[in-house]
Structure 1
Amino acid sequence: MADHAMDLHTPHSRHSVRDMLRDAGLRPTRQRLALAELLFSKGNRHISAELLHEEAVLARVPVSLATVYNTLHQFTEAGMLREVAVEGTKTYFDTNVGDHHHFFIEGENRVVDIPGPSVSVEGLPIAPEGMEIVRVDVVVRLRRKDA
């Protein structure tokens, strides 16, 4: 994990977002800068590509949904975001790239961090020859109780 990604929980100025992109090895294009500002200016959060696209449209950032997806995946590969898969095709992107797990609230389609080290995973299988376990992601699904 890249060191520059560890401070993403604080709001960023345009200058520091530009530096963050460069530190991650990404060229700070106008669209990347605009999307990074939308992503990282509000502290830690979980966001879908569709929601980020809506925010970009409201902020008058001329960007297609395909570009938003591509940029989110580039940010993930660069260590700036963490991908959280909650359903077959439903993916959220987490600005907190530290080691943690998630609740997924069904019916609200919301992802929330599980606080602290309250999840332990035991009995992991031995990785196949030539492979290593990089990370274990736990998503605990919740739904509201009937009143």
Structure 2
Amino acid sequence: MLRSAGLRPTRQRVSLAEILYSKGDRHISAELLHEEAVDADVPVSLATVYNTLHQFTEAGLLREVAIDGNKTYFDTNVSDHHHFFIEGENKVIDIPGEGVGIGRIPQAPDGMEVVRVDVIVRVRQKD
């Protein structure tokens, strides 16, 4: 998988990929992946986890889901879809691509094209 994405399969990348993809589609923060790596006796720093997640994202192996300026998740499902963010639980759930209808998308500035539209619907438990 790493080679086909143009990434050299280093020991740390392979170990992190195994942790990421062994549980099916999921949304994970760098901190949680680091915690899972430490629990699995993978010697890796948080900085390396961040770098690896960004490399995987650039290679098309992950999607970055930015919730706030300070909260980012990485999604192993790179298909066209959107997300619910459950406030209070800090949990991200997929919405199928056809589950959201977008009426109008603004025209991109000259010389640019729209690559993707990401919708994040914030939800919380009813009182």
TM-score interval for Structure 1 and Structure 2 normalised by the shorter chain: over 0.9
Q: Does 1:114 align with 2:101?
A: no
Q: Does 1:125 align with 2:96?
A: no
Match for residue 40 of structure 2?
A: 59
Q: Does 1:68 align with 2:49?
A: yes
Q: TM-score scaled by structure 1?
A: 0.85
The alignment partner of 2:121 has SS state of: strand
CA deviation map 1:126-147 (0-9, x unaligned): 101110000000000001111x
Match for residue 85 of structure 2?
A: 104
Give, in angstroms, the shift of residue 118 of structure 1. Answer: 1.4
Correspondent of 2:69 among 73, 88, 94: 88
Q: Does 1:134 align with 2:115?
A: yes
Could you tell me how far apart the structure 2 residues matched to 1:108 and 1:83 are?
19
Could you tell me how far apart the structure 2 residues matched to 1:35 and 1:97 are?
17
Query: Percent identity at matched positions?
Result: 78
The alignment partner of 1:112 has SS state of: strand
Q: Please list every run of 5 or more consecutive structure 2 residues that lacks an aligned counterpart in the other structure.
A: none
Match for residue 41 of structure 1?
A: 22
The alignment partner of 2:73 has SS state of: strand
Match for residue 9 of structure 1?
A: none
- Name the aligned partner's letter for residue 105 of structure 1: I
Could you tell me how far apart the structure 2 residues matched to 1:116 and 1:125 are?
19
What RMSD over aligned residues (CA atoms) do the two structures have, in Å?
0.7
Equivalent pairs, count: 127
Match for residue 126 of structure 2?
A: 145
Does the 8 Å contact 2:80/2:97 carry over to 1? no
Give, in angstroms, the shift of residue 90 of structure 1. Answer: 0.4
- Name the aligned partner's letter for residue 100 of structure 1: H
Give, in angstroms, the shift of residue 116 of structure 1. Answer: 5.0
Q: TM-score scaled by structure 2?
A: 0.98
- Name the aligned partner's letter for residue 34 of structure 1: S
Higher strand share: 2
- Name the aligned partner's letter for residue 75 of structure 2: D
Q: Please list every run of 5 or more consecutive structure 1 residues that lacks an aligned counterpart in the other structure.
A: 1-19
